[in-house]
A and B are shown apart, each in its own frame.
Chain A
C-alpha cells in the first residue's frame, strides 16, 4: 500500500500546483483587468483572497505528502463554494462564464485539491458548483441564444476537463490497488513456500535429533567398532530401542499421549525381561510434544540402565506433571538430562536409582 500512498501524494501536489498557477498566472490578470466591471469589486477581491488562502492552507498538509484531514477538506469545500457564489453574484450581467467570471474554473480546481481523496463528495461538490453557477446565470435577466450557447460550451468544457481528472484519478487508484493486491499475493506465496521449506528442514533435523543414539550405534556395529557381546553396547542398544519406541508412539493419535509414550518405554523395557510396575494417577492434562519428549527422556535413560525391576509412575496433580522412575541399576550409570522446560532430579540410593522429571504447566 506504500506505492498507493506515494502516488496519491504526488497527484495531490500536482493538483495543488495547477491550482496555484491557474490562480496567480491566469485569474489574477483577469481580476485586475476587470476591476471596474464588478459590482462591487471588493467582493471579487475578497473571494480571490479567500481562494488563495485555501490553497495555502492545503499546501501545509499536501507539501508534507499528507492527505487533508476531513474537517479541513469539508470546511475548505464549503468556504470555496461560498466564495464562488459570492464572486458570481458580483458579476456584471453579461459577464457570466467569460474572462470576467474568473472564479468559475478556478473553484473547480480548488474542489479537486480539497476532495480528490473523497470521490463521492468531490463529484457532488462539482455538481453543486455547476448547478449554483448556472442557476445564478439564469436568475440574472434574459439571455439570448448566443449567450446561452457560449455559456454551455464553457460550463461543459471546464467541468468536463475537471471530471476527466476525477476519472483519471479513479482509474489510477484502482490500478494501484490491483497492483498492491498482486504484490501482496506474491509475497504471501513466497512466505508460504519459505515456511514449508523451513518446516521440512526442521522436521528432518528433529527426526535426526530424535533418532538420538541410534545412528552412531548402528555405524559402530556395522564397522565392528562396537562388540554386541559387550554390556555397554547392549545398554546402548537398549537405550536406542527405547528411544525409537517412544519416538514411534509420539505421533499416535491417542487421548492421553504422555501415558501412551510412557507405556511405549515400559513396553520396550519389558521386552528385555525387566519387571516394570507402572502407575498412573490424576486426570490427563495437555502436555506439548516438546515437553513430553523431555519428561520421558530421563525415563528412557533410566529404563535402559535397569537390571531387573523398575517402578514407573506418572502423577498429575493440580500443579504439576511428574514422571518418576525408581530402578535397580548398575552403579555409576546415573545420567541426568536437564532442560529449561522440565526439572530433572537424579539420585542414587545404593543399588537403586531414582529419576524424576517435573513440569509445571505455565
Chain B
C-alpha cells in the first residue's frame, strides 16, 4: 500500500466529522479524509465515491439505524467501518452479517478507529473490544462454532482492551491474538448473507492458508 489511504466520513455531527478527520490524519501513515457530510450521498458522489474506506454513523438524524445504506454500500464493494453511538450487540452482529468490516462504538476512542480504518483499507476486518464482547455473548442459533481458545481470546480482549495483556494472560504472542481474532471474523464471514467484503475475506484467508478449502 504505497498510495495513501483515503476515507469518507458520514456522520450527522460536524464535531464528530472534524474529530474523525483529525484522528485519521494524525496517524502514521496518515489517512486522508477526502469527503465528509451528514448524508450518505457524500459517499456516492464526487471524491467520496472513490474513497478507500467509508466511516459510517448508523444513526443519521433518524431513530432507525441506516442499515439499508450500509447494505447498499457493501453490495457496491465499499469497505465500511460502522461508527455508532450505540453499544448494541444485536445491531453490531447485524452490521457484520451485512458485511461491515468493523463495528466500533463511539465510546471506543482514537486508537481503535485508526486501526479499524487502516485494516479496512486493506480489506481486513477489525474487532474492537466491544465487538469482541458482542461476539462472545452471541447466543443466536446460526453463530459459528468457535474453539475454546478463540472464545478465551474474545473474552479476554473484551475484558481488558489490551492485546498485550491478553497475550500475557494466555501466554501467547500479540500477533497470535490478532490471528485468533481474524480467524473468528472469517468464521463469521462464512455465515449469513453474501457480501463482496465477506467473500474477499474468506478468499484471502484461504490464499494465506489461514483456513483450508475443506473448512468451508
The segment from B45-53, B76-84, B156-164 found at the interface with A is B156-164
Chain A residues with Cβ below 8 Å from B155 are 315, 322
Decide: A279 near B129, CB < 8 A? Known: A313-B158, A326-B159, A326-B160. yes
Complexed CA–CA distance, A334 and B126 (Å)? 34
Q: Does A349 sit at the interface, judged by CB under 8 A?
A: yes
Decide: A317 near B160, CB < 8 A? Known: A277-B107, A280-B87, A281-B130. no
Tell me if A315 and B168 are in contact (CB < 8 A): no
Chain B residues with Cβ below 8 Å from A349 are 165, 168-169
Q: Does A352 sit at the interface, judged by CB under 8 A?
A: yes
Complexed CA–CA distance, A311 and B129 (Å)? 11
Chain B residues with Cβ below 8 Å from A280 are 87, 133
Q: Does A294 sit at the interface, judged by CB under 8 A?
A: no
Tell me if A316 and B137 are in contact (CB < 8 A): yes
Tell me if A283 and B161 are in contact (CB < 8 A): no
Interface size on B, residues (CB 8 A): 19
For chain B, residues 126 to 141, give those with C-beta under 8 angstroms from any C-beta of chain A: 129-130, 133-134, 136-137, 139
- Chain B: CB-nearest residue to A285: B139
Q: Does B89 sit at the interface, judged by CB under 8 A?
A: yes
B133 to chain A, nearest CB (A): 3
Query: SS class of chain B's interface: helix, strand, loop or mixed?
Result: helix
Tell me if A281 and B165 are in contact (CB < 8 A): no
Complexed CA–CA distance, A326 and B166 (Å)? 12
Complexed CA–CA distance, A279 and B131 (Å)? 10
For chain B, residues 159 to 182, give those with C-beta under 8 angstroms from any C-beta of chain A: 159-162, 165, 168-169
Proximity string of chain B (7-29) to chain A, C-beta cutoff 8 Å, 1 when within and 0 when not: 00000000000000000000000
Proximity string of chain A (259-299) to chain B, C-beta cutoff 8 Å, 1 when within and 0 when not: 00000000000000000010111110000000000000000
Chain B residues with Cβ below 8 Å from A322 are 155, 159
Q: Does A354 sit at the interface, judged by CB under 8 A?
A: yes
- Chain A: CB-nearest residue to B164: A349
Tell me if B165 and A352 are in contact (CB < 8 A): yes
Chain B residues with Cβ below 8 Å from A231 are none
Tell me if A311 and B139 are in contact (CB < 8 A): no
- Chain A: CB-nearest residue to B131: A281
Complexed CA–CA distance, A282 and B137 (Å)? 4
Tell me if B89 and A324 are in contact (CB < 8 A): no
Chain A residues with Cβ below 8 Å from B129 are 279
Q: List 12 A-B contacts (CB under 8 A).
A: A279-B129, A279-B133, A279-B158, A281-B136, A282-B136, A283-B139, A313-B133, A315-B136, A315-B137, A317-B136, A322-B155, A326-B160
Question: Residues of B at under 8 Å CB distance from A?
Answer: 87, 89, 107, 129-130, 133-134, 136-137, 139, 155, 158-162, 165, 168-169
Question: Residues of A at under 8 Å CB distance from B?
Answer: 277, 279-283, 311, 313, 315-318, 322, 324, 326, 347, 349, 352, 354, 356
8 pairs of A and B residues whose beta carbons are closest in the complex:
A282-B137, A281-B133, A281-B137, A324-B159, A313-B159, A318-B139, A326-B160, A311-B161
